Amino acid sequence: MKRWAIIIILISLISLPLFVQAQYPLHLLIMVGIWSIAASSLNLILGYTGQASLGHAAFFGIGAYASALLMIRAGFSFWLAMPLASLIAALFGFLIGLPALRTRGGYFAIATLGFNLIVTIIIDHWEALTQGGAGISGIPKPDPLLLPFVGKVAFTTMAAQYYLILFFLVVTLFLTYRIVHSLVGKTYLAIRGSEALAESLGINSMWNKIVSFTISAFFAGLAGALYASYHGFISPDTSNFHISFDLLIYLLVGGVATLPGPIIGAIIMTIIPETLQFLLEYRIIFYGSFLIVIVIFLPRGLVGLWLSSLWPRIRGRKNCLMVPESK
Amino acid sequence: MDLAIFAQVIANGILTGGLYALIAVGLTLIFGVMRVINFMHGETLMLGSYLTYFLFTLYGIDPFFSLPLAIFALFTLGVAIQRFFINPVIDAPHLNQILLTFGLVLIIQNLALILWTGNYVSMTTHYSGISIKLGPLSLGLTRLLGLVIAISLTILLTLVLKKTEWGKSVRAVTQDREAAMLMGVNVNRVNLLAFGVGSAMGGAGGVVTSMIMYIFPLVGMLFILKAFAIVVLGGFGSIAGAVVGSLILGLTESIVTNYVPSGSGWSEGVSFVILILILVLRPKGLFYAE
Amino acid sequence: MRRFFMILMTFISSFSLCLSLCSAAETVKIGVIMPLTGPNAMIGQEEKRGIDMAIEKINAAGGALKKQVELIIEDNRGDPTVIVSAAEKLITRDKVVALTGGYSSVESLALLAAMKKYEPVMVWQGGGAVKMDRMYGKERWLFLLHPRSPDYQRNIADFLITIQPQPKRIALAYEDTSYGVDHSKVAKEYLTPLGFELVTFEPFKSGSLDYSALLTKIKGAKPDIFYWIGYAGDSILFTKQAKELGFAPKMLLDTVGVGFPEFADSLKKDAEYVCGIEVWAPSTKFPVSVQYPQFYSKTDDWVAEYKRRYNKEPNYWSIISYVALITLTNAINKAGTTDKEKLIAALEATDTMTPMGHLKFFQNKFGTMHQGFQEMAIFQWQKAEKVILWPKQAAGGKLWYPLPAWDKR
């Protein structure tokens, strides 16, 4: 059943640009795709490993800047810059994780937020490297690729970029799926459930947390690199902590520790502001109220609700899927 | 090195530290008791400032006398918010708590923006602009008053925590919530009052900042991140830690601004670098009682 | 309970979705981007007041091309990334005829980089950094209204040199982001050749809580003029703390942070003697426009109407946004079409008096083909009033100089 659903969704997503030619909806979908990758990356450390990181935008920004600088300053092609940028982001994840993951809970949250702020400040002030507050413009799109069957694909049209993002989203989801459903994934869930208990079973929680954090940073950096080339312009705001909060919101609304959660969250949280544009400054008040309502009434997010309440009722049985979190 | 300037730098640092302490102490109380990451704490400062401002411009009430009013008003607001918004998520995952308080921030900040406009306002009383001269030191009177208020309220709070029944239950819950419940402590009441008292301290901080600097709807943002850094530095729930952390931060910012070239721009990051350094050495903060 | 909530949310979302997709009567759509929330909300709110006043008059006078003008307003929250998405939405989804709005140079630069692809007609009041002129000034679709940072500094330098007895020592402090860095560099270029000595040249972080260290340092340098480049909050704090430290140089001068009425309201007597520079002050006296009297009354009348509507003194952001929107609409009407080329030609043919001065787009010295305004007014707060001191022909009073010691007022 599930496999059919996935195939149908994939086919509709792939054929979408044939029906939707208008620029703006494609633009929305591309942004949803980029944010989905970023939110999925956060899901790994936060949703599955249970460590609430408030600073993920740092890795998004590092990925964006690394990719942009490698392309502009070092003349690399996107196809080399992007994976390198993701690795650089992962490296920072590792380095930041080493001290940060020694703390837990609220301490860890604030520590990661602190790192995020430091990264933004450094990007803002290290003008020689990053051009500071002025930002970097004119970031090139990916070089044309020679694909089998299709021929030469230039990434100048919206449709082409849509496929690019879709491709990486699928790759991210697939890799996340493999991690989560492996022994490693179960280890993460165990750490999330109770770190003390996991340790007593012989799990090296510190090492596992660091690996999870590093992989999260990798995919966040990947999203950042994609963002940089799509948008063409980045600034220190690209690593601003409000992006970290946006990602948290996508996870909350969609549902943590679920694969479709980040995507559903990204979709909803992109559509809602669009429809409420007419509210202008009142929109943010609505947004805040919406958050509060979700936290109180839908704490598991939409996918969580589906998995724990709606789907079992449709199937006619209870689903013991969610692992309780420790504090 | 000019000793007079150095003394002034230290004095400035202490004065700023006193201001930070008012906000940090309230925040650490809330953290310690409820383990909730309270992003809306900065808004209690903002609301306290605006309350003082309106009482001053509309009714001519001096900020000094607005202080008890602000404390009472923010205490009440804090209790109400805890009861209706925070309590439902007290056992929820951190993500949910963070986003709840964040949602409150969005609402409160933007309501303030709409109601009171985004303009920067300030107050000038007959004692603004006076400086006390102590030898080579020049200390702004309003800042000194702010320090006095901060010290008094912190001492008051510490006495409450040491001597009253409620204070003891707060310390019990901070140390171990489950054990406290088993001992019959009414944790709900402790939470309510803690959030109220913490918010009241934030409101008092707002009264002080309104005397010292300027007011606008986003003024809470200038302080909240530093307050987090201080609370983590000092250890959740430790008043002493918050005070020490505030002083460390105030002094470091003052020294960096004065002695590091273009230091002003970097001093913002200083709070977080210190935070990280301390966390590497003591992941639960300086004063956490193991 | 949960199910009800889900249904309610779905209903609200789909309802709003329908609302936004269903269009009303045919209108001429103009896109407006302003920082209505976020750190620059104060400016965004000023701009909105100007825009609201303009759109009411425009539609009362028949709108554009015999249709109502519909403004599609986007809040960019002061964020350069949001401004780009906002503009792309306005252009690709809402299909607006033109864009107007803006505030900071950073946002404007981000936006212009993205707009090269679309080449929309932009009558833009945001940004004064010369980088904008260098990089995008040659674009025919761009009409910049705001004076450039060299215009600020040229006017200040020309004014300072007229002061008798001549001040020599200037302490310059600037906020450390692109706005302050840009202006301070240009200030140096204009002031040094005229013989002024910059005894300090210090950056500071806008939004700091304590400037006493900086002020002490500057006081020690014994300047004649303390000239800072910052924002409204900084200006309030500098003035307050200067008083605390007993720092009274002969002149206190700022760029944009002291023009807001709240500056004088809040600081009362302490605000007196402080000088600033603005694109426009309400006390200027421009006459009514011959071509468009229904939109461009004389300055006094415009200010009076603004005060009636909003119970506030207007700031230049209100009037520049007002003029931007009206200029655009007038050009659409003159062109008789929304066709881009004809609209650009009509905008280039603009030649009218406005309550903020004469408007005729010209080629400026920094690379921009279509520059709107370059004149600036230097003012001083005297008895809670902004008295214009410069340019001479617009002066409404004399400079109070030097500043007396704080305790001798």
Say which residues have a Cβ less than 8 Å from residue B103's Cβ, sequence separation at least 6.
Answer: A287, A288, A289, A290, A291, A292, A295
Nearest residue on chain B to C263, alpha-carbon basis? B121
Give the confidence band of B129 by pLDDT, cuts at 50, 70, 90.
confident
What count of other Cβ atoms lies within 10 Å of the Cβ of residue A267?
21
Segments of chain C assigned to CATH 3.40.50.2300: 25-147+284-359, 151-278+377-408
Q: What is the DSSP letter of C259?
A: -
Q: Is the pLDDT of residue B1 over 70?
A: no
Question: Which residues are paired to B132 by β-bridges?
Answer: B139
Q: Where are the beta strands (DSSP E) in A99-165?
A: 136-137, 145-147, 151-153
d(CA A148, CA B5) in angstroms, rounded, equals 72
Higher pLDDT, C112 or C283: C112
Strands C169-175 and C197-204: parallel
Instruction: Indicate which of B108, B120, B147 best probes the interface with C, i.e. most C CBs within 10 Å of its own CB.
Output: B120
pLDDT at C3: 60
Q: Is the pLDDT of residue A317 over 70?
A: no
* DSSP SS3 for A141: coil
* DSSP SS3 for B137: strand
**Residues A209, A76 contacting (CB under 8 angstroms):** no
Any domain includes A324:
no
**Residues C249, C225 contacting (CB under 8 angstroms):** yes
Chain A to chain B Cβ contacts (< 8 Å): 138
Q: Which tokens go with C357?
A: 């001065």
B63: left (phi over 0), alpha (psi -120 to 50) or beta: alpha
Chain A to chain C Cβ contacts (< 8 Å): 89
Give the confidence band of A308 by pLDDT, cuts at 50, 70, 90.
confident
Q: Which chains touch B (3 or more CB pairs under 8 A)?
A: A, C
**Residues B8, B137 contacting (CB under 8 angstroms):** yes
| C-beta atoms of B16 and C237 within 8 A | no
Output the DSSP codes for chain B. Answer: --HHHHHHHHHHHHHHHHHHHHHHHHHHHHHHHH----TTHHHHHHHHHHHHHHHHHHH---HHHHHHHHHHHHHHHHHHHIIIIIGGGTTS-HHHHHHHHHHHHHHHHHHHHHHH-S--B----TTTT-EEEETTEEEEHHHHHHHHHHHHHHHHHHHHHHHSHHHHHHHHHHH-HHHHHHTT--HHHHHHHHHHHHHHHHHHHHHHHHHHS-B-TTHHHHHHHHHHHHHHHH-TT-HHHHHHHHHHHHHHHHHHHHHSTTHHHHHHHHHHHHHHHHHHH-TT-TT---
Backbone angles phi, psi at C369, to 5 degrees: -75, -40
Residue with tokens 């909060």: A245
| C-beta atoms of B100 and A296 within 8 A | yes
- C193 burial class (0-12, 13-18, 19+ CB within 10 angstroms)? exposed
Of B95, B273, B283, the CB nearest to A256: B95
Which amino acid type is present at position C244? E
Backbone angles phi, psi at C213, to 5 degrees: -65, -50
The per-residue b/e assignment along B198-212, b for 16 or more CB within 10 angstroms, e otherwise, is bbbbbbbbbbbbbbb
Say which residues have a Cβ less than 8 Å from residue A85's Cβ, sequence separation at least 6.
Answer: A62, A63, A64, A66, A67, A70, A221, A222, A224, A225
Rounded to an integer, the average pLDDT of A1-13 is 81
pLDDT at B290: 40
Q: ∠ CA(A64), CA(A65), CA(A70), 5° rounding?
A: 105
**Residues A100, A108 contacting (CB under 8 angstroms):** yes
Any domain includes A14:
no
Nearest residue on chain A to B117, alpha-carbon basis? A281
**Residues A165, A142 contacting (CB under 8 angstroms):** no
d(CA B201, CA C394) in angstroms, rounded, equals 51
| C-beta atoms of B129 and C232 within 8 A | no
Domain count of chain A? 1
Which amino acid type is present at position A319? N
- Reported residue count of chain B is 290
Residue with tokens 């937020």: A113
**Residues B235, C176 contacting (CB under 8 angstroms):** no
| C-beta atoms of B119 and C244 within 8 A | no
**Residues B235, B288 contacting (CB under 8 angstroms):** yes
Rounded to an integer, the average pLDDT of C291-300 is 93
Give the confidence band of C304 by pLDDT, cuts at 50, 70, 90.
very high
Give the confidence band of C20 by pLDDT, cuts at 50, 70, 90.
very low
**Residues C218, B278 contacting (CB under 8 angstroms):** no
Taking contacts as CB-CB distances below 8 angstroms, the residues of chain C near B254 are 210, 213
| C-beta atoms of B89 and A282 within 8 A | no
- Reported residue count of chain A is 327
Any domain includes A139:
yes
Higher pLDDT, C38 or B67: B67
Average pLDDT, chain B: 89
pLDDT at B75: 96
What count of other Cβ atoms lies within 10 Å of the Cβ of residue A141?
17
Any domain includes A49:
yes
Any domain includes A72:
yes
Average pLDDT, chain A: 88
* DSSP SS3 for C296: coil
CATH architecture, domain B3-281: Orthogonal Bundle (1.10)
Question: Reading across the β-sheet that carries C225-229, which strands appear in turn?
Answer: C197-204, C169-175, C225-229, C251-254, C274-278, C377-382, C385-390
Q: Quick: pLDDT tens for A127-149.
A: 889 988 778 888 888 888 877 77
Average pLDDT, chain C: 89
Of A52, A121, A292, the CB nearest to B98: A52
Give the confidence band of C23 by pLDDT, cuts at 50, 70, 90.
very low
Any domain includes A179:
yes
Rounded to an integer, the average pLDDT of A299-307 is 84
| C-beta atoms of A237 and C79 within 8 A | yes
Q: Which tokens go with B176?
A: 């171990």
For residue C38, which of A242, B155, A252, A204 has the smallest C-alpha distance? A242
**Residues A255, A261 contacting (CB under 8 angstroms):** yes
Taking contacts as CB-CB distances below 8 angstroms, the residues of chain B near C213 are 8-9, 12, 254, 257-258
Q: Quick: pLDDT tens for B2-50.
A: 788 888 889 989 999 999 999 999 999 998 898 888 999 999 999 999 9
- Show which of residues 131-170 on chain C sit within 8 Å of chain B, judged by CB atoms: none
d(CA B38, CA B32) in angstroms, rounded, equals 11
CA distance A227 to chain C (A): 11
Instruction: Indicate which of B9, B208, B214 best probes the interface with C, i.e. most C CBs within 10 Å of its own CB.
Output: B214
pLDDT at B219: 92
Region of poorest pLDDT, from B5-19, C23-37, C327-341: C23-37
Q: Which tokens go with C382?
A: 């005297």
Task: Give the N- to C-terminal CA distance of chain B in Å, as an integer.
Answer: 41
| C-beta atoms of C20 and A275 within 8 A | yes
Give the confidence band of B102 by pLDDT, cuts at 50, 70, 90.
very high
Any domain includes A4:
no
CATH architecture, domain C25-147+284-359: 3-Layer(aba) Sandwich (3.40)
Q: Quick: pLDDT tens for C186-220.
A: 999 999 999 999 999 999 988 888 888 888 889 88
| C-beta atoms of C406 and B129 within 8 A | yes
Q: Which tokens go with C98?
A: 């033109």
Backbone angles phi, psi at A136, to 5 degrees: -115, 125
pLDDT at A316: 65
Q: Quick: pLDDT tens for C350-381.
A: 999 999 999 999 999 999 999 999 889 999 99
Higher pLDDT, C116 or A274: C116
ipTM: 0.88
d(CA C298, CA C295) in angstroms, rounded, equals 10
Instruction: Indicate which of B28, B38, B99 best probes the interface with A, i.e. most A CBs within 10 Å of its own CB.
Output: B99
Q: Which pTM was predicted?
A: 0.88
| C-beta atoms of A252 and B91 within 8 A | no
Interface residues on A facing B, Cβ-Cβ cutoff 8 A: 46, 50, 52, 54, 99-100, 102-107, 109-111, 113-115, 117-118, 121-122, 125, 245, 248-249, 251-252, 256, 281-282, 284-285, 287-292, 294-296, 299, 325, 327
Which amino acid type is present at position B236? F
- C36 burial class (0-12, 13-18, 19+ CB within 10 angstroms)? buried
Taking contacts as CB-CB distances below 8 angstroms, the residues of chain C near B8 are 212-213, 216
Rounded to an integer, the average pLDDT of A234-257 is 92
Any domain includes A1:
no
Nearest residue on chain A to C76, alpha-carbon basis? A280
| CA atoms A21, A22, A25, A30: torsion sign | positive
Taking contacts as CB-CB distances below 8 angstroms, the residues of chain C near B218 are 38-39, 41
Higher pLDDT, A34 or B129: A34
Of C37, C74, C88, the CB nearest to A277: C74
Nearest residue on chain C to A25, alpha-carbon basis? C93
Radius of gyration over every alpha carbon of chain A, rounded to an integer in angstroms: 20
Q: Is the pLDDT of residue C10 over 70?
A: no
Rounded to an integer, the average pLDDT of C312-316 is 90
Of A137, A274, A309, the CB nearest to C113: A137
Domain residues for A198?
21-315
As a whole-number percent, the residues of chain C with pLDDT over 70 amount to: 94
d(CA C353, CA C356) in angstroms, rounded, equals 8
Q: Quick: pLDDT tens for C127-175.
A: 988 889 999 999 999 999 999 999 999 999 999 999 989 999 999 999 9
Which CATH code is given to the segment(s) C151-278+377-408?
3.40.50.2300
Higher pLDDT, A106 or C174: C174
As a whole-number percent, the residues of chain B with pLDDT over 70 amount to: 98
Q: Which tokens go with B43?
A: 């808004």
| C-beta atoms of A281 and C75 within 8 A | yes
Q: Is the pLDDT of residue C4 over 80?
A: no
Give the confidence band of B284 by pLDDT, cuts at 50, 70, 90.
confident
Taking contacts as CB-CB distances below 8 angstroms, the residues of chain C near B138 are 212, 216, 244-246
* DSSP SS3 for B236: coil
Q: Where are the beta strands (DSSP E) in A90-228?
A: 136-137, 145-147, 151-153
d(CA A80, CA B55) in angstroms, rounded, equals 62
Region of poorest pLDDT, from B169-173, B277-281, C256-260: B277-281
